[in-house]
Amino acid sequence: MQTHEKFASFREGARAAVPVCFGFFGITMALGIAAHTAGLSLGEGVLMSAIVFAAPAQFPALELIPLGGQAVQILVSTFVINLRFAIMSFTLAPHFGRVRMAALMPAAHLISVSTFAVSFLGFQKKSVQDKFLYFLGVAIPSYTCYVLGTAVGYLFGVRIPGGFEEGIQFVFPAYLSALLAAELKERQLILLVGVAFLTTPVVERLVPGWGLILNAVIVATGAIGVEIWWESKS
Amino acid sequence: MVGEQVVIILGMGLATYLIRIFPFLLVPRFHPRMIRWFQFLSYGIIASFVWYGLAKGAPAPVTLSFRSLALALTVLVAVRSRNAVMGMGAGIVAVLVLSRIGL
């Protein structure tokens, strides 16, 4: 593959990252404010965003840190909350088959729900020649926005003006649903997406905090079962 | 001397990184059926994530209802135009307008 073709994959990924950056800025400015309120220094707040890169684990930690003596609870909750990343890494691994471990080791740190979802949907396009570079194109700008947003929130305590919060909160679900709607053509996958969307609140109500992964595992396993049954029948 | 807060942050980072890198260290060689399952799983996670984004911070059912209307418009525009950014733009404009008029 030519160098310019590889760079095109990175650029395409970076373009897809623009809405992620908007969404991340909204979340991480709140993280910066929470870090300031929790009594962390600017360096500590930015360090947390840079090396954890997982807002759902950072917010509870920022609640617990000021209490003191909560290290074990924070670490255990971080581990449990972030277990979902293992499934995302397992899913991405086959797409990065020929990439050397030396490149994968730093890149693995950039896996989040957002970078995973946008990259995975991008991988389905024929125009993406190099999936690893596409992933980096999505992940590096997103990660940069994440860390910068934390610093901006900490330093300036910036809040999104009233009336625009709804729009910012809606960026990411709108982007993902629009990507799904524009790109999905296979009937089974359209059906699966519809079922997974509708069953999430049910599973979330039954097992609070685990709806995202558990629902996806149940729906995916059901779908593969139906596919095997259908193939054996025909 | 490194403070307790920094040690906690480093521990959080290490725990999270190990979860992220572990599957790559296994050098997985999956059966095609397993890869298909992962494909289903990925779409399932993305669909669930859309629901979470829709429900997140919705203080009342009315908020969820105008977000749902905006989501429907997002999907409709994206399907018709085959352009995700256009769909997203339509949805964001819709959610801003609907939240202003309090639908």
CB atoms within 10 A of CB A46: 21
Pair A155, A123 in one domain: yes
* A106-134 mean pLDDT: 91
Pair A117, A18 in one domain: yes
Residue range of the domain that includes A79: 3-183
Length of chain B in terms of residues written: 103
Taking only the tens place, the pLDDT of each residue in A29-53 is 888 998 998 899 999 999 999 999 9
Q: Which DSSP category does A40 fall into?
A: -
Tokens of B56: 């997140």
ipTM score of the complex?
Answer: 0.82
Pair A137, A175 in one domain: yes
Question: pLDDT value at position A1?
Answer: 60
Instruction: Tell me if residue A190 falls in helix, strand or coil.
Output: helix
Q: Is B72 an 8 Å CB contact of chain A?
A: no
Question: pLDDT value at position B61?
Answer: 66
Single-letter amino acid code for the residue at A9: S
Pair A34, A22 in one domain: yes
Q: Is B60 an 8 Å CB contact of chain A?
A: no
Torsion of CA A217, A221, A223, A226, to 10 degrees: -160
Among A142, A166, A183, residue at a domain's last position:
A183
Pair A39, A7 in one domain: yes
Q: Is A136 an 8 Å CB contact of chain B?
A: no
Give the integer Cα–Cα distance in Å for B48 and A193.
Answer: 8
From residue A192, alpha-carbon distances to A115, A119, A185, A221 in Å are 21, 19, 12, 11
Give the integer Cα–Cα distance in Å for A91 and B57.
Answer: 29
* A3-19 mean pLDDT: 87
Those residues of chain B that have pLDDT short of 70 are 1-2, 27-28, 57-63, 102-103
Q: Do B95 and A82 touch (CB under 8 A)?
A: no
Interface test with B, best of A77, A132, A166 (most B CBs within 10 A): A166
- Three-state secondary structure string covering B50-64: HHHHHHCCCCCHHHH
Pair A165, A211 in one domain: no
Please name the member of A74, A111, A182 whose beta carbon is closest to the beta carbon of B78. A182
Chain B residues within an 8 Å CB radius of A167: 92, 95-96
Q: Do B79 and A182 touch (CB under 8 A)?
A: yes
Residue A62's nearest CA partner among A24, A32, A27, A84 is A32
Residue A142's nearest CA partner among A18, A43, A8 is A18
Tokens of A37: 């309120």
Tokens of B31: 């059966």
Nearest Cα of chain B lies from the Cα of A148 at a distance, in angstroms, of: 18
Q: How many CA atoms lie within 13 A of A124 on its CB side?
A: 17
Pair A132, A201 in one domain: no
Please name the member of B4, B49, B77 whose beta carbon is closest to the beta carbon of A176. B49
Tally of structural domains, chain A: 2
Give the integer Cα–Cα distance in Å for A196 and A215.
Answer: 7
Residue A93's nearest CA partner among B74, B28, B33, B9 is B28
**pTM of the predicted structure, to 2 decimals:** 0.80
Pair A116, A173 in one domain: yes
Give the integer Cα–Cα distance in Å for A29 and B66.
Answer: 25
Single-letter amino acid code for the residue at A214: L
* Res A148 pLDDT > 60: yes
Pair A156, A222 in one domain: no
Question: pLDDT value at position A25?
Answer: 83
Give the integer Cα–Cα distance in Å for A70 and A78.
Answer: 12
Pair A36, A129 in one domain: yes
Chain B residues within an 8 Å CB radius of A176: 46, 49-50, 53
DSSP string, A81-105: HTTHHHHHHHHHGGGGTTS-HHHHH
Question: pLDDT value at position A122?
Answer: 92
Question: pLDDT value at position A75?
Answer: 92
Which distant-in-sequence residues (6+ apart) come within 8 Å of A112 by Cβ? A53, A54, A85, A139, A142, A146
Question: pLDDT value at position A221?
Answer: 95
Give percent above pLDDT 70 in chain A. 95
Chain A residues within an 8 Å CB radius of B13: 48, 51-52
* A3-28 mean pLDDT: 87
Give the integer Cα–Cα distance in Å for A101 and B89.
Answer: 39
Interface test with A, best of B24, B25, B69 (most A CBs within 10 A): B24
Find the radius of gyration of the CA atoms of chain A: 19
Taking only the tens place, the pLDDT of each residue in A201-234 is 899 889 887 777 889 999 999 999 999 999 888 7
Q: Is A81 an 8 Å CB contact of chain B?
A: no
Instruction: Tell me if residue A158 falls in helix, strand or coil.
Output: coil
Give the integer Cα–Cα distance in Å for A227 and A225.
Answer: 5
Single-letter amino acid code for the residue at A138: V
CB atoms within 10 A of CB B6: 16
Split at pLDDT 50, 70, 90, the class of A158 is low
